[in-house]
A and B are shown apart, each in its own frame.
Chain A
Amino acid sequence: MNAYGRQLLTAFRFLLCATLLLGLAYPVLVFGLGQAVAPAQANGSIITVAGKPAGSSLLAQPVTGDKFFYPRPSAVDWNPETSSASNLGPNQPALVKSIAENRAEVAKREDVAPTAVPIDAVTAGGSGLDPDISPAYAALQVPRVAKGNGLSPAAVRQLVSANTSNGLNAFLGQPSVNTTTLNTALLQARVAH
């Protein structure tokens, strides 16, 4: 075999060994460490309702009707079997149109002036699975949700503030309300009510 052939064979054997180490042993080791250190997170931050898995606290859930807080618009209809942004450019007519439509829809749903609708309520996030909304958008939804669940606005506002990020993550990022955990709390409050 000539020098080139020998190099290719060496490369193949090296890659094979490296694959066992980096492609198999490494992820298995990390899996083991994850299960030991933080199993809840490693397994998807699953939340349970009445003992049954009811979603991941990190992922948005599609909402209809008047009983729940709506997450932001999504380019993938909140379906975590895929993930994507709209990838529309900032000056694209399609983006201008979708923002206008979203604004009109939210204003109508929450019975407020279109100018009162915050930016996160009318734009899709980077993943399409973003469960978080701004405190302003949450405040906008409180009257409707309170009415829909037969709860007092004050009680709902309390749930909102309990599910608003604070401390380090709010400072590094921005204060956000997790609609998935908030809706879970709402469900439980309704059952208790």
Chain B
Amino acid sequence: MELNVLSLITQVAVLILLLGALHQPMGRYLAATFTSRKHLAVERGLYKLSGIDSAADQHWKVYLRSLLAFSIVSILVVLGGQMLQGHLPFNQGMGAVDPWVAMNTAVSFVTNTNWQTYVPESTLGFGVQMLLLAVQNFLSAAVGLAVVVALIRGLVRAETHNLGNFWVDLTRGTLRVLLPLSILGAVVLIVTGVIQNWGGTDIHTLVTGAQQTVPGGPVASQEAIKLLGTNGGGYFNANSAHPFENPTAFSSLFEVFLILLIPFSLPAMYGRMVGDKRQGYTVLTVMVAFWLGSTALMTWAVAAFAGQGTGVGEGFEQRFGIAPSTLFATATTLTSTGAVNVAHDSLPPLAGGLAMLNMMLGEIAPGGVGSGLYGLLVLAIVAVFIGGLMVGRTPEFLGKKIGSAQMKLVALYILVTPTLVLLGTAITVSIPYLSSNAPAEGPHGFSEILYAFTSAANNNGSAFGGITSSGPGLATMLALAMLLGRFLPIALVLALAGSLAKQRKVPDTSGTLATHGPLFATLLGGVSLLVAALTYFPALALGPAAEGLIK
């Protein structure tokens, strides 16, 4: 397979034009969604039925407690529902899911990871897919939105402990943003060929004479939110490589658009909410620069491998070829999506390494729905801190002093994911019972393990699929990585938001480091790269880099 450079450039240009046209209107809509005082009728009904006091303004601890209560209940319901599948409606005759797999899956969907240790076709009926998994696709994404909105409120508000109302934010993110976009997205996907029905078709005599069962299911409805919510859990095992999830090169481009739409619109929301659009543009610039750079590198790494060694073909769908595959692989790993239209395990070594590096950056370019922007804002505080050290002043961010209390939270935030990734990988490679689940020889086996923990701790969900994670050992370790990788950073971000909200605003002076413009964008990009590079390069050297050097 060969790269069509013109096709790649055209597709990137189309994405830039579309997202460029939409990010400000979307940002305005998002900001209005989370600042409006009015409730919709359906929202009022939902609050009443759930016993929610929508007027309550929550202390950051109450906000966090609500979020955790919701997530715990969600995990238990998704877990219980899978264990009882045999007794639930729409199960297609499928029974209880293996407890380890069910546990891992419940954690995976509630944490917005959507790591798939199960084979959907033979494990899950329509009921579990629609009533449990697709519901979490919406809600876990809305949780991410809620957290970034709370952080922005922490920056905007002064002399208060309160960050808003978690339930209201969760409801609005779901009903006003994700649901309408998903309906539109699903219809477009159906037109391209994605299925939406309630049963497969048994074919007694195929054209070629054999027999086949053409699968069915509510795929388009799940596909749309899987991408818009940066979830990534495929209706089918092959995910977006499956012809029924991603039928054409056009649908593939549309899916990349759906992945990027909300994350690239959040900076505009942020700019509006803090009352300074330049702040949004600066953050957006850093995101776009990483996205373009990474797409170019990924494409080069794949195209350069064509005609060498095993070449470029294994794991690639013929209707896509190189450009749609590298575009998708980059978008999915730079966000927390993890859907795949090409088998990442079979990517050329350096391309597989780049997919990992994208996640290791912290999924900030543009990152998951909500999680990408709060990740980058935490890095912006690091950049402000480093800038403050250079000029010898107490660092400030949007009129809030960044003192030792804030920096402790930020430092912990930055340490969480690398600790989970490196510790999880180290433990797994040193225990043969665990490492035997990645049977590939040489550095590739290590890459499979490193990829798994990178994906789990960053809540991505894509995999080097050669690894088997359904046994008790890896299912538990990866579930822990997903849980801690999701909720520790969220707790730290909300604590940070609380500590910022408490402060009074200090006015800008001539000595204040500006957090907009090219200088700060460069500083922010540099800090992001440096934090990831220093932490992960040794591990990457043992895996994909070593593999790339073997001829």
Contacts of A68 in B (CB 8 A): 207-208
**Which among A15, A42, A90, A134 is the interface contact of B318 at CB below 8 angstroms?**
A134
**Which among B247, B343, B448 is the interface contact of A58 at CB below 8 angstroms?**
B247
- Asked if B65 is at the interface (CB within 8 A of a chain A CB), the reply is yes
B310 lies within 8 A of A96 (CB): yes
Q: In the docked arrangement, what's the CA distance between A89 and B346, Å?
A: 5
- Asked if B320 is at the interface (CB within 8 A of a chain A CB), the reply is yes
Find residues 47-79 in chain A having any chain B CB closer than 8 Å to their own CB: 47, 49, 52-56, 58-59, 61-64, 68, 72, 78-79
B70 lies within 8 A of A11 (CB): yes
A9 lies within 8 A of B51 (CB): yes
- Asked if B319 is at the interface (CB within 8 A of a chain A CB), the reply is yes
A91 lies within 8 A of B310 (CB): yes
Q: Can you list, as one digit per residue, whether each of A172-187 has a CB less than 8 Å from chain B (1) or not (0)?
A: 1110100010011001
B7 lies within 8 A of A172 (CB): yes
- Asked if B389 is at the interface (CB within 8 A of a chain A CB), the reply is no
Contacts of A99 in B (CB 8 A): 310, 314
Find residues 16-50 in chain A having any chain B CB closer than 8 Å to their own CB: 17-19, 21-24, 26-27, 29-31, 33-34, 37-38, 41-47, 49
Q: In the docked arrangement, what's the CA distance between A152 and B315, Å?
A: 35
A130 lies within 8 A of B207 (CB): no
Q: Chain A residues in contact with chain B, CB under 8 A?
A: 3-4, 7-15, 17-19, 21-24, 26-27, 29-31, 33-34, 37-38, 41-47, 49, 52-56, 58-59, 61-64, 68, 72, 78-93, 95-96, 99, 119-120, 122-134, 165, 168-174, 176, 180, 183-184, 187
- Asked if B304 is at the interface (CB within 8 A of a chain A CB), the reply is no
A22 lies within 8 A of B444 (CB): no
Residue on A with the closest CB to B42?
A21
Known: A83-B238, A125-B241. A29 touches B183 (CB 8 A): yes
Q: In the docked arrangement, what's the CA distance between A15 and B205, Å?
A: 44
Contacts of B77 in A (CB 8 A): 12, 15
Give the 7 A-B residue pairs with the shortest CB-CB distance, closest first.
A173-B249, A126-B241, A123-B313, A85-B343, A174-B321, A127-B238, A172-B249
- Asked if B440 is at the interface (CB within 8 A of a chain A CB), the reply is yes
**Which among A41, A42, A176 is the interface contact of B319 at CB below 8 angstroms?**
A176
Find residues 391-413 in chain B having any chain A CB closer than 8 Å to their own CB: none
B466 lies within 8 A of A38 (CB): no
Find residues 449-469 in chain B having any chain A CB closer than 8 Å to their own CB: 464-466
Q: Which of B190-198, B259-267, B288-296, B529-537 contacts A (4 or more CB under 8 A)?
A: B190-198
B72 lies within 8 A of A41 (CB): no
Q: In the docked arrangement, what's the CA distance between A47 and B201, Å?
A: 11
Q: In the docked arrangement, what's the CA distance between A78 and B207, Å?
A: 14
Find residues 144-166 in chain B having any chain A CB closer than 8 Å to their own CB: none
Can you list 20 contacts pairing A with B, beta carbon distance less than 8 Å? A23-B134, A45-B193, A55-B214, A56-B243, A62-B206, A83-B241, A83-B242, A86-B314, A86-B346, A88-B440, A88-B466, A89-B349, A90-B309, A125-B317, A126-B316, A127-B242, A172-B250, A172-B252, A173-B249, A174-B249
Contacts of A95 in B (CB 8 A): 310, 314, 346
Q: Chain B residues in contact with chain A, CB under 8 A?
A: 1-2, 4, 7, 10-11, 46, 49-52, 65-66, 69-70, 72-74, 77, 119, 121-122, 130-132, 134-135, 138-139, 167, 170, 174-175, 179, 182-183, 186-187, 190-198, 200-201, 203-208, 210, 212-216, 218, 220-222, 224, 236-238, 241-244, 247-250, 252-253, 305, 309-324, 340-343, 345-349, 352, 440-442, 444, 447-448, 464-466, 547, 550
**Shortest distance from the beta carbon of B263 to any chain A beta carbon, whole Å:** 21
Contacts of B347 in A (CB 8 A): 90
Contacts of A64 in B (CB 8 A): 208
Contacts of A22 in B (CB 8 A): 134-135, 138-139, 174, 179
Centre residue among B69, B204, B305, B347 by max chain A CB count within 10 A: B69
A171 lies within 8 A of B346 (CB): no
**Which among A29, A47, A172 is the interface contact of B323 at CB below 8 angstroms?**
A172
A122 lies within 8 A of B218 (CB): no
Known: A27-B221, A31-B197, A129-B238. A52 touches B135 (CB 8 A): no
